[in-house]
Amino acid sequence: MALAFPEQHAEISKMVTKNPLPPRDTKVFRVTNVDAEKAALWLSAMYPDTKVGGPVIQGDSANNQILVISSPEQVKEIEAIITVIKADPTGGGGNFRVISLGEGSAASLAEALQKFFSEMRPENPVRILTPGGGPKWLRLRRLARASRPARGPSRAPASRCSRRHRLHGV
């Protein structure tokens, strides 16, 4: 209830009926294979600022949840995006694990896991797939070439003519 003059009542009535607040939905999404705060940043970058009608998106890494407060249409869009983010990276079923290594060696971890799993269940072979991999003998050859000292012009075999020039300064 507002106490005012009739002109002010008309003005208040216009303000109240002119800009009603848009309906807002609140939803919490649980993510498992992505950090919630990073996912919230990705989602926030896709939408305009909250001052101009964008959604409020907050990530909670402790509980791996994303809180979304927005219009029902935007909540549905964000839900579809989160469904894609939460999707299985292998494109189907199966047991697939992603292990993030900070400063560790992924190659030595992969070999240790291969050895462990082959001892635990010899009937299930484990393959190690590496970027730029290929057969082990080829990788070993590449490593051997990379560890050799570089051949400079002085180590290269020279013809008699060039040897004479070098020795006599001709």
25-30 and 56-60 beta bridge pairing: unpaired
| pLDDT band with cut points at 50, 70 and 90 for residue 133 | low
- Which residues does 56 contact at the CB level (< 8 Å), separation at least 6? 50, 67, 68, 69, 70
- Rounded to whole angstroms, the Cα distance separating 165 from 119 reads 64
- Rounded to whole angstroms, the Cα distance separating 143 from 145 reads 5
Q: What is the DSSP string of 64-99?
A: TEEEEEE-HHHHHHHHHHHHHHHS-TTSSSS-----
* pLDDT tens for each residue of 157-168: 555 555 555 555
Query: What average pLDDT does the segment 24-51 reach?
Result: 87
What's the confidence (pLDDT) of residue 116?
81
Contact 29, 82 (CB under 8 A): yes
* pLDDT tens for each residue of 75-130: 999 998 888 877 655 554 555 555 666 677 777 788 888 888 888 888 888 777 66
Closest CA to 129 of 164, 155, 96, 154: 96
Whether the pLDDT of residue 69 is over 80: the answer is yes
Third-level CATH fold of 22-86 = Ribosomal Protein S8; Chain: A, domain 1 (3.30.1370)
What's the confidence (pLDDT) of residue 105?
75
Q: What is this structure's pTM?
A: 0.44
Beta bridge partners of 65: 30, 60
Whether the pLDDT of residue 53 is over 60: the answer is yes
What's the confidence (pLDDT) of residue 68?
94
What's the confidence (pLDDT) of residue 163?
55
Q: Would you list the domain boundaries of the chain?
A: 22-86
Spatial strand order of the sheet with 65-70 comes to: 25-30, 65-70, 56-60
How far the first Cα of the chain sits from its last, in Å, is 109
